[in-house]
Structure 1
């Protein structure tokens, strides 16, 4: 009888442990999910351009300039929320040594083009990835995400979630300035 009482507490103990893990998980910042690609070359890819399906965009197009690769979709409310920031960054980047490029992810071409027509196009170019072929290799969890790529095509940082002026000033701008100074 004494052994039976000890076993009856096991489900309660497991429940307490699971609640502890859940509580810990809720304290974590979802925008700081580590990426195994940091410090590694951009995965090889070839995709059609969003605006010109006859043009191919490859991983080689990311070499030679500091790039903010923004993963976005027209159906994504957070992507629409960050669009004004991207427009400002695109204007700033032209004179500040970086460019904003897009990876249109899991989207319909016509919907994506309409969004750019209505809200403006901050991207130097946009690769079109409707089937998540490339997003999968980048480790994209969802839109929006932004990768900082150096001039050699190495992934230096991954930001999960929408960009805003605070993220730019506190995190991305210092990194872009550091990358400019290194070259």
Structure 2
């Protein structure tokens, strides 16, 4: 009996380890119910621009990304250099600063660079709720009519860009007459 009590914790640890290992690499993301629906209506302040507001109408007219980010998000730091690259390549990116301290967000962009066409502030997270945001970072692909075409949860990096976003962008460009 003593031997069983000594071995039982080891068996539990091994079982939990096997369960964890089996879940690695499995895609647990939940598809967004907003795919093929218009970006939710909003009117939120532009970061660092007293009195200037942004709405969902500002997303129309070009194919763009909306990147949900925050200074408290470690993965946002990891993906930021890649957004800088995409911005230099001419990709239109709107930043949605999510539940964050505005002064910290402004300093972050000043220190690390600003890849965003415009950054708007969702301080209380209301738009985040409407978008089904589960955390930062998340990135939405929005077509030129303001319709959400894809939602990516987690880090957007070169692999994700090439395997997922580039094919979707090519498809959108064909669908919408080749222009951005």
Q: Where do 4+ consecutive residues of structure 1 move more than 4 Å?
A: none
Shift of 1:53: 3.1
Match of 2:122 in 1: 129
Match of 1:88 in 2: 85
Match of 1:168 in 2: 161
TM-score, normalised on structure 2? 0.83
Shift of 1:177: 1.6
Residues 9-57 of structure 1 deviation map (CA, whole Å, 9 limit, x = unaligned) = xxxxxxxxxx9xx88x936413x32100001001000000012131110
Matches within 5 A, 1:66-77: 66-77=63-74
Shift of 1:174: 1.2
What is the SS of the residue equivalent to 2:41? Answer: coil
Long gaps (5+) in structure 2 = 1-15
Match of 1:99 in 2: 92
CA RMSD of aligned residues (A): 1.6
Cα distance between partner residues in 2 of 1:168 and 1:181? 18
Cα distance between partner residues in 2 of 1:122 and 1:53? 20
Of the three residues 150, 171, 174, the one matched with 1:178 is 171
Cα distance between partner residues in 2 of 1:112 and 1:26? 34
Shift of 1:129: 0.7
Matches within 5 A, 1:1-183: 26=23, 28-30=26-28, 32-92=29-89, 94=90, 98-183=91-176
What is the SS of the residue equivalent to 2:105? Answer: helix
Shift of 1:75: 1.0
Contact 1:69 1:147 in 2 (8 A): yes
Contact 1:68 1:146 in 2 (8 A): yes
Contact 1:33 1:160 in 2 (8 A): no
Shift of 1:136: 0.7
More helix by share: 1
Residues 62-105 of structure 1 deviation map (CA, whole Å, 9 limit, x = unaligned) = 1111011000001110000000000001111x2xxx40111000
Long gaps (5+) in structure 1 = 1-18
Cα distance between partner residues in 1 of 2:50 and 2:95? 15
Aligned residues: 157
